[in-house]
Structure 1
């Protein structure tokens, strides 16, 4: 009897909470809830509901439960989902200027990166996305700087890349970057990279530490060069129709929740990188199968000099002024 009464009360509470929400916001992403992105999405859900007093019911769907990597932007445009957070590379067809994030060595460090994202350049880039396809660009989330890896020979100086086959995402900038050092870029879906490395279809990759480690690329690569030469991040976007329906006071609360979620996601990304680096060093020491190379400032400068020759090739696409503003950001 007691269980029946408790069940009835619980059902009544759920029904009441369901009626209390004026808006339902579905948040879809393609990674695990335990990742920095997943944790931030869950935090965003909690904070929106707290700040709006339950007027917005946020429902988070991780691990491609609703839509896969190639479907989520279309689903957002159709308002089947209200918030997504794809990688920045997914927006380059909508806003070619977003290729700025692919330029090698454009960011000096994380502080510089965040100042670019949160400043004038980041706002300008978001405006190009806002102008297209019924999307509102909310904020930038972090996946980390990319490093080189190889199964052929350690990548210490640019000449070491000559003749090597590198897997890249579909990007004209990344293609030009590897050609600048004599490499042979190969576009491959991320899901095929492990087997391609294993079979020698490609010799090397560029990945953030999280991708490199969680996808076990260290098992099929003999060296990892901590180059921090490139960047991989996400853009959180909301359906414009949904956003415009929200009263101004709720828009402000959603924006506040997003700002807090962004801070959390960036902190979690840094924590995860530190943990992964510890695990990789441990793996290297115990197995002797992975050499971890830390470039000197002089060696890093050699790579930067060799690769940054690609910048002028993209002045027309990205905007020379935008590139220079990013570089000059303090």
Structure 2
């Protein structure tokens, strides 16, 4: 091992081993979002609320932007007790709990009442039980996005026919089946490579979130942005180490549960009206021509995308069909 690597390992170990000062308990939360993004801000508020309402008995330490672990390493870090908590997008857990990728089925959960009630739904309970079998305890949910943004250069991707022959950076193998049904040519690519690939023409377009496109400055290399409201229901799940959770006093757990509930309510309100999304205005101010589709045009995209995605999802886990049915019915 080189001296640089040894030093980096030592620093990381020191960060993880630091005791809480003047606190009885420590909660280290690792996540993937940059501090300016909505999920990161929600977690900052959660930390302040928990510390204030417990009188400083718990020290909440947040490590954003994958400072400690890559996004796909955080579940294991919590399960193994290396850290106490993480927040991770539900479909990123698909390799561990296949049914978690149900959020990628286009236009599945559209009713506002169903969105608001999701944490208490039967579908959520099934997924939470499956997460517990993977050695983590889910203590809350947050809406990541109910919309997707299709960016492009040659023409706005606002109707099924516009996708024909477009080289697009996809989302996941499951979601990409829907893009292929539209006639696009999806390709997998690390997020860090997207900007250059768009700039050099390796790909023509990408599917992302409005805040992701703004933060990564896709407006510099993409002329058009098309927002499809309600076409997804991506959620972030708040996971903690079960042993650590059980060792906490009941009153502290109650404070955390209430604070997590506030994060859900806040995230729902922030994502309910796409026209109020500040990232859309940010993209427009930076020169991107942004179109927000109405319900009928979003439904036209979903009508093509959903069947192959749903068919593939149905075979992804023994409870996949049940989760689909419950998501529709609740």
Task: Give distance in 1, aligned partners of 2:58 and 2:207.
Answer: 40
The equivalent of 1:182 in structure 2 is: 183
- 2:154, 2:120 → 1: CA distance? 39
Unaligned 5+ segments in structure 2 are: 1-19
- Provide the C-alpha distance between the structure 2 equivalents of 1:81 and 1:241, rounded to a whole number of angstroms: 12
1:322 deviates by 1.5
1:28-53 deviation digits (Å, cap 9, x = unpaired): 22323332222222222222223323
Q: 1:221 to 1:231 in 2, by over 3 A?
A: farther
Counterpart Cα distance in 2 of 1:271 and 1:62 = 27
Q: How many residues align?
A: 305
Query: TM-score w.r.t. structure 1 length?
Result: 0.84
Distance 1:266 1:164 in 2: 32
Residue in structure 1 matched with residue 300 of structure 2 by the alignment: 302
Deviation at 1:238, TM superposition (A): 0.4
| Residue aligned with 2:150, SS | strand
Question: What displacement does 1:118 show?
Answer: 4.0
Alpha-carbon RMSD across the aligned residues, in angstroms, is 2.4
**Residue 267 and residue 305 in structure 1: after superposition, are their counterparts in 2 closer, same or farther (change >3 A)?**
closer
CA separation of 1:303/1:265 partners in 2, compared to 1, >3 Å: closer, same or farther? closer
Q: 1:82 aligns with which of 55, 68, 84?
A: 84
Corresponding residue for residue 244 of structure 1: 246
Which residue number corresponds to residue 291 of structure 2? 293
1:161-186 CA-to-partner distances (Å, cap 9, x unmatched) read 122111123x2321211121121110
Q: Do structure 1's residue 314 and structure 2's residue 317 form an aligned pair?
A: no
Whether 1:61 and 2:63 are equivalent positions in the alignment is yes
1:73 to 75, 96, 105: 75
Deviations 1:218-248 (A, max 9, x none): 2211211121323433211001111121233
Q: Which runs of 5+ in 1 are unaligned?
A: 1-16, 285-289
Task: Confirm or deny that 1:209 pairs with 2:210.
Answer: yes
Of 125, 128, 131, which residue of structure 2 is paired with 1:129? 131
Residue 173 (structure 1) aligns with? 174
Task: Tell me what 1:155 maps to.
Answer: 157
Q: Give SS of 1:241's match.
A: helix
Residue 94 of structure 1, CA deviation: 0.9
TM-superposed CA distance for 1:139, in Å, is 1.6
Conservation of the 8 A alpha-carbon contact between 1:137 and 1:236:
yes
Q: Is the 8 A contact 2:115 2:268 kept in 1?
A: no
Inter-CA distance 302–62: structure 2 relative to 1 (3 Å threshold): closer
Q: Which moved more, 1:294-303 or 1:318-327?
A: 294-303
Q: What is the rounded CA distance, in whole Å, between the counterparts of 1:252 and 1:218 in structure 2?
A: 43
Whether contact under 8 Å (1:143, 1:208) holds in the other structure is no
Is residue 91–residue 102 contact of structure 2 (8 Å, CA) maintained in 1?
no
CA contact under 8 A between 1:208 and 1:232: conserved in structure 2?
no
SS in structure 1 at match of 2:155: coil
**Counterpart residue number, 1:95:** 97
Q: C-alpha displacement at 1:65, in angstroms?
A: 2.9
**Residue 267 of structure 1: CA displacement?**
4.5
Q: 1:189 to 1:231 in 2, by over 3 A?
A: farther
- Contact conserved, 1:149 with 1:224, CA < 8 A, in 2? yes
1:190 Cα offset (Å): 0.9
Aligned with residue 280 of structure 2, among 277, 280, 292? 277
Post-superposition shift, 1:117? 4.2
Bigger Cα Rg: 1
Contact 1:103 1:174 in 2 (8 A): yes
Partners in 1 of 2:88 and 2:62 — Cα distance?
15
Alpha-carbon distance between aligned partners in 2 of 1:212 and 1:198, rounded to the nearest angstrom: 14
Shift of 1:140: 1.6
Distance apart, 1:294 and its partner CA = 3.4
